[in-house]
Structure 1
């Protein structure tokens, strides 16, 4: 059972959050006091009525408290966690598929110190075999999706995302995939394209990328020193070459640059949030996405080396946010998008069509964690034709494969077993977890293990998120 919580913010606001109603209400001082007596001090209604009389609390405040009580805003929510997925939910997950990520190659023309394929991470020894995705296998998965859409009478717009390594090393495969999808004459599938690149080969292929309206995510960690982890195999820093090409694109194709090019900047020990915001604004007129190094699959023998580079994005933001102009704070994609996602999930994952819906429902059946069902949002296709949930969870959880004959093979019974094991392993913790609606945990990245967030921990999380300056005035 998840009890409602009452808490205060530094700006003086007093709030009530109810899991049952998925509502966040601003209370005046007296109503907050009465709710606190009921929820935390476990006073009965009769005892609260005596408190109202003894402390000269207004009838209107007491009436509002009773309204909240009588309509379930002070009631707990019983959670019925699904420890199993149905085969039908797996069969129909393609309805929600939005992104196909093609790992064009694991090879790269840079040798970044923190690369997931480098020495810091525990990646398969065979990572350099079959190092380029074949067009044949890429075509096979696209044909499979197309046939599924036709069979189920579904029209879909897919984003094809090209990933590496450095995907532009396999440009011929990218070109063939794009030309193939552009030849589709049916309305069943429409495509848009994006690519993650280190920028070294941009000058060679920019005309093609502009022609097909690619969205580009360029990996760049800031100025020359900030980018000094990003070197080639001889230790050469390519910052000047990459920066020069990008400025040329900005000058010659300003509309494309402003609409289609974004940057991903990894926070580490040689840069900072504050310096990078100033650098990217000054040089490119853009504030980048900020990310941190993944802590998944770090080699046990390289832990010390890893943490000599690693810097926490959350810590960096907390330390430097007040030094940033307000507009820049709002533009920092990583922090702001997570904040919006927190508020959205906190209040409602489904749309409320009318006010009466706030007054129904004593229990809720949900799937634990925020782990995506396979194929429900994204497919990651590796160079050897194996299918994974996404590019962020490593290479341990195979969802299917494309064989050498071009057949797409998905064992749904096996997938159900994998997900059932993951879910059943965390149900005992999830049942008592106050973070149930705002959970960000992917069980693949946690190896199926997680720890429940207590009521007090959840309140601190609510306070930390809602006390952001950009949200403090909405209550």
Structure 2
């Protein structure tokens, strides 16, 4: 047979391969594993191995087929979706911020713009909203997000935008979202946000010593006390509104895991709320010393992941699981447990990663320029996908959606393509997009995916009743 398009891996207990064309994970005998992992192509003389091969081939597995071309499946319906299916509009209502966080994309530590005094005008905001409503006619709900800088600096503009949206969006449910450092909140602002059911995300990096290390006021003083004072204000006067609030913790891997875990597990003001944990962004950073985990943090994190897996196998209570790692199992479920299986070869396809630019989120900066999202470098011309005056630039949107074309030879031959999470962000290099930058992330993507495979299979092994070949 021709060399099958598979990836072999093993746990301490069993041996597996991932079959790219059927999206199946298969447990096999040691003999067959050794045969496949050596990349054998010729006819096998071992009768047991030959019978296993025949069984798998009858199930549609071990095909050597690969994509002949790279094109995202959403490309064919791109124009139609852009004309009527935009899900969310995010407005950069200011580039001003009263904090100077070490890891902020605009702090000077990244190849991006820096903080400025620019603000969005109400005229720009109205044109952006008009464009959004016109291009989301098939959506029953619309979503307006407020972003900065620190958006609360432009509180009066927020009120005007809400008032305008309530009129223009009549007949649709309007959901408002805001990301804030919470230092500028007061009772009036909280009352307004609560009364309009804003889904608020507050940036909070843990207890004082961890939060204040990176999240400083312009004076250099830490911001923790101001944040906690305003969170407690919400709890006291608007306790029901706390259900609408989530926290975003950017994890500094050089810190103390135990201290961070204790805070989000037991601190009264935050322990009942939803918290999203993320690492310091690596894309576009100038100094790699800010990245990664110290040895003690990494050991503690891996131990908590181990406990998480034990809990999913029923050995320990979920109450014992660190909130910092809980979302890891959600990733396993989303990417592996819920995946579709079966032979479904197409001549062309695209690695996972890109959302449809302008559909999942349309980010509009203070000047009225369009971007796929707020995480991207605004100084890269290729990612400006239009503006409020001229609408979408469809060619640029197509190019970003099909960013895999820039590395198509590598992507067509990669076992990990279905699980790739590289969007255009991973191609950023200074003020341009780079094929080399995209390829530089490939090994990390494959390593992370194999770790997901291993953890998923470990759980399955505990649940299994026998050691026969089975499909996952």
Report TM bin, short chain.
0.7 to 0.9
Q: Note if 1:390 corresponds to 2:376.
A: no
Residue 275 of structure 2 corresponds to residue 275 of structure 1: no
1:290 to partner: Cα distance: 1.5
CA shift for structure 1 position 315:
9.6
Using the alignment, how far apart are the partners of 1:425 and 1:369 within structure 2? 14
1:81 aligns with 2:69: yes
Contact preservation (8 Å) 2:93, 2:147 = yes
Where structure 1 has 5 or more consecutive residues not aligned to the other structure, the ranges are: 53-61, 353-357
Q: Give the CA deviation at 1:399.
A: 0.6
Q: Tell me if 1:136 matches 2:117.
A: no
Q: How far 1:123 moved relative to its partner?
A: 3.0
1:429, 1:144 → 2: CA distance?
38
Distance between the aligned counterparts of 1:389 and 1:460, measured in 2? 25
Match of 1:339 among 329, 332, 356: 332
Equivalent residue number for residue 401 of structure 1 = 387
- Output the CA distance in 2 between the equivalents of 1:398 and 1:90: 17
> How far did residue 137 of structure 1 move?
1.8
Q: Following superposition of structure 1 onto structure 2, how do residues 30-45 of structure 1 map, counting pairs within 5 Å?
A: 32-34=30-32, 36-37=34-35, 40=38, 42=40
Match of 2:411 in 1: 430
1:161 has 2:159 as partner: no
Match of 2:424 in 1: 443
Alignment coverage as a number of residue pairs: 433
5+ residue gaps, structure 2:
309-317, 428-432, 465-472
- Structure 1 residues 25 and 252 mapped into 2: Cα distance closer, same or farther (>3 Å)? farther
The change in CA–CA distance for 1:2 and 1:372 in structure 2 (over 3 A counts) is farther
Quote the residue 2:163 is aligned against.
179
Cα separation, partners in 2 of 1:239 and 1:385, compared to 1, 3 Å: same
SS in 2 for 1:192: strand
Give the root-mean-square deviation of aligned CA atoms: 3.5
Aligned ranges 1:93-172 → 2 under 5 Å: 93-94=81-82, 95-124=84-113, 128=116, 131-150=118-137, 154-172=138-156
Please say if 1:411 is aligned against 2:393. Answer: yes
1:21 aligns with 2:22: yes
Displacement of 1:390 in angstroms is 0.6
The residue aligned with 2:10 is 8
1:210 pairs, out of 188, 191, 194, with 194
TM-score by length of 2: 0.80
Q: CA deviation at 1:234?
A: 1.5
Whether the aligned pair in 2 keeps the contact of 1:87 and 1:413 (CA below 8 Å) is no
Take 2:330 and 2:355, find their aligned partners in 1: how far apart are those partners? 18
1:224: Cα distance to partner? 1.4
Does the CA-based 8 Å contact 1:158-1:190 persist in structure 2? yes
Residue 72 (str. 1) matches residue 60 (str. 2):
yes
Residue 56 of structure 1 corresponds to none
Deviations 1:224-273 (A, max 9, x none): 1112222212122221221122123224433321x211111112266333
